[in-house]
Chains A and B, each alone.
Chain A
Amino acid sequence: MGEIYYHIGRYSMLIFRVFSKPEKFSIYRKNFVQEIDKIGLSSIGIVSLMSTFIGVVIALQTASNIDSPLLPAYTVGFTVRQSIILEFSPTIIALILAGKVGSNIASEIGTMRVTEQIDALDIMGVNSAAYLILPKILAAIFIFPFLIIISMFLGIFGGMLISWITGIVTVNDYIYGIQYDFKPFSIVYAMIKTVVFAFVITTISSYFGYFSKGSALEVGRSSTAAVVYSSVFILLLNLILTQLILI
């Protein structure tokens, strides 16, 4: 139990240092742009692929389960839209990014720790926590919403594509479905979750990387811990945010 408090304390102190006094704005801007590329743009491929396929599968599943004539044909489009916007894009994609981006961050920072590169920064008088972690947090908070929007768009598009190809419902019915009872607030809700998850993934992964010690083996362990804890916190916060915002 004591260990939990220890981690929470050390995590808070790290985050505090991250947000205290950046040295030179121009350098942070340069790193921010690099991180956007590393964290965001390099994930577009996997996000697009996953989203399209999930959209397709949700459409097929829904169609095959609504043989009942009581349910209108637009249910397919409606269901795809709700599942994608409310849960799949913000939460499941965040879990996938926790795996990809989180392990990447933890191993990058962890390697810098065990090869004394972080000590080298500290000796020079650089605030190593801010220098390494702040650009990652800001880049993720900036770029994740775009990834999630792309994911939403492609997921819904995937459902439409498969409807058109297989004829499970007409494209008109599908389009009617995705517009039916649409509440713009659901997008806001998804974006709030996305920003929170971006913060969770980057800070937790940085934390495990930053406090790695010992050998390369330890870096592997930090990277696993980063993914596991980011995922657990995403699930927990998802529950809390849903409770707070939607209900």
Chain B
Amino acid sequence: MIEIKNLSKSFGDNHVLKNISVKFQRGKVNMIIGQSGSGKSVLAKCVVGLLKPDSGEVEYDNQDFIAMDLDEKIEVRKNIGMLFQGGALFDSMTVEENIMFPLTMFTDMKKSEMRDRANECLERVNLAGKNDLYPAETSGGMQKRIAIARAISMKPKYLFCDEPNSGLDPQTSIVIDNLIRDITEEMDITTVVISHDMNSVIEIGDYIMFIYKGENWWEGTSKEILSTKNQEINDFVYASEFMKTLKDKLA
């Protein structure tokens, strides 16, 4: 479980996050949604410690993360897997080396054991046999999946995904979504997914938080989000004609 308490972050006069509090439960896909530029990525970066919040607390299973010193933070981070908005694979390494990288850095596994683990992870994301390609030789959708494989190679307790399906076709999107949901359930981890794709939200979101004007404007389940009377969230959810028709049909 990850708990965020009263977290605020500004860049100069730009108050991006204001007093955000939320709980992300274990074994669930927790979603952060909101308009572009609303501060979703900034929130995720504050939570994992890539940015320093101005005030507030972040707790990983009741341990205060912000107050930790660097060594303690590193211990927590070894349990965090993160999928970046752009994939962030290491260009200079093959797919297999990318996945094995955290293992070589932090475990004493033998080369053959690491290979087995890499193969397992690749199979899990349906990319068996792509071990020796370089990231530049793979497609955008494959890169996302490789990044997921790398994120789960250390068997993390917490998984962050920043827009896992941006730039992907609807079918590939669904493959990635399902992958994230299945991994969350199988490994019983706390997953946080940032998205603006309503499809994914309805499909895999167990718990949803909507950021608006830097605040935690609304939170609830995917059922609740379709029926809420909250004006701002309706504007967001029913922005597309498709969702509007869907709503009318449901009503």
Q: Is A37 an interface residue when CB atoms closer than 8 A count as contact?
A: no
Total residue contacts A-B, CB cutoff 8 A: 52
Q: Is the CB of A124 within 8 A of B102?
A: yes
Q: Is A117 an interface residue when CB atoms closer than 8 A count as contact?
A: yes
Q: Is the CB of B77 within 8 A of A123?
A: yes
The residues of B that contact A112 with a CB separation of less than 8 Å are 90-91
The docked-state distance in angstroms from the alpha carbon of A116 to that of B135 is: 14
**Which of B16-24, B78-86, B178-186 participates in binding chain A?**
B78-86
- Give B68 Cβ to nearest chain A Cβ, in Å: 12
Q: Is the CB of A123 within 8 A of B50?
A: yes
- Which listed residue (B45, B87, B90, B105) contacts A27, Cβ 8 A? B105
Residues 176-216 of A, flagged 1 when their CB comes within 8 A of B and 0 if not, give 00000000000000000000000000000000000000000
Q: Is the CB of B105 within 8 A of A124?
A: yes
Q: How many residues of A are counted as interface, with CB atoms below 8 angstroms from the partner's CB atoms?
A: 15
- State whether A124 and B88 are in contact (beta carbons under 8 Å apart), knowing that A24-B104, A27-B104 are contacts in the complex: no
The residues of B that contact A23 with a CB separation of less than 8 Å are 105-106
Q: Is the CB of A119 within 8 A of B50?
A: yes
Q: Is the CB of B85 within 8 A of A116?
A: yes
The residues of A that contact B102 with a CB separation of less than 8 Å are 124
- Which listed residue (B73, B77, B86) contacts A115, Cβ 8 A? B86
The docked-state distance in angstroms from the alpha carbon of A27 to that of B103 is: 12
CB-based nearest A residue for B104: A27
- Give B40 Cβ to nearest chain A Cβ, in Å: 15
Chain B stretch 43-83: residues in CB contact (< 8 A) with chain A: 45, 48-50, 73-75, 77-78, 80, 82
CB-based nearest B residue for A23: B105
The residues of A that contact B82 with a CB separation of less than 8 Å are 120, 123
Chain A stretch 106-153: residues in CB contact (< 8 A) with chain B: 111-112, 115-117, 119-120, 122-126
Residues 83-125 of A, flagged 1 when their CB comes within 8 A of B and 0 if not, give 0000000000000000000000000000110011101101111
Q: Is the CB of B86 within 8 A of A116?
A: yes
The residues of A that contact B50 with a CB separation of less than 8 Å are 119, 122-123
The docked-state distance in angstroms from the alpha carbon of A125 to that of B156 is: 12
The docked-state distance in angstroms from the alpha carbon of A126 to that of B104 is: 11
Q: Is the CB of B104 within 8 A of A125?
A: no
- State whether A124 and B78 are in contact (beta carbons under 8 Å apart), knowing that A27-B104, A119-B50 are contacts in the complex: yes
The residues of B that contact A125 with a CB separation of less than 8 Å are 73-75, 77-78, 105-106
The residues of B that contact A111 with a CB separation of less than 8 Å are 91
The residues of B that contact A122 with a CB separation of less than 8 Å are 49-50, 77
The residues of A that contact B106 with a CB separation of less than 8 Å are 23, 124-125
Q: Is the CB of B88 within 8 A of A119?
A: yes
The docked-state distance in angstroms from the alpha carbon of A42 to that of B149 is: 34
CB-based nearest B residue for A114: B86
The docked-state distance in angstroms from the alpha carbon of A46 to that of B42 is: 45
CB-based nearest B residue for A116: B88
Q: Is the CB of A124 within 8 A of B90?
A: no
CB-based nearest B residue for A30: B104
The docked-state distance in angstroms from the alpha carbon of A112 to that of B102 is: 17
The residues of A that contact B154 with a CB separation of less than 8 Å are 124
CB-based nearest B residue for A20: B70
The docked-state distance in angstroms from the alpha carbon of A14 to that of B154 is: 28
The docked-state distance in angstroms from the alpha carbon of A24 to that of B88 is: 22
The residues of A that contact B78 with a CB separation of less than 8 Å are 124-125
The residues of B that contact A115 with a CB separation of less than 8 Å are 86-88, 91
The docked-state distance in angstroms from the alpha carbon of A115 to that of B86 is: 7
- Give B54 Cβ to nearest chain A Cβ, in Å: 20
CB-based nearest B residue for A26: B104
- Give B113 Cβ to nearest chain A Cβ, in Å: 16
Residues 100-117 of B, flagged 1 when their CB comes within 8 A of A and 0 if not, give 011011100000000000
The docked-state distance in angstroms from the alpha carbon of A123 to that of B105 is: 13
The docked-state distance in angstroms from the alpha carbon of A120 to that of B160 is: 12
- Give B195 Cβ to nearest chain A Cβ, in Å: 18
The docked-state distance in angstroms from the alpha carbon of A27 to that of B93 is: 14
CB-based nearest B residue for A124: B102
Can you list 27 A-B pairs with a CB-CB distance of less than 8 A? Answer: A23-B105, A24-B105, A27-B105, A111-B91, A112-B90, A115-B86, A115-B87, A116-B84, A116-B88, A117-B90, A119-B50, A119-B84, A119-B88, A120-B84, A122-B49, A122-B50, A123-B48, A123-B50, A123-B77, A123-B82, A124-B78, A124-B154, A125-B73, A125-B74, A125-B75, A125-B78, A125-B106
Other A-B contacts than A115-B91, A117-B91, A124-B154, 14 sampled, CB-CB below 8 A, are A23-B105, A23-B106, A24-B105, A27-B104, A116-B85, A117-B88, A117-B90, A119-B45, A120-B88, A123-B48, A124-B77, A124-B78, A124-B102, A125-B74
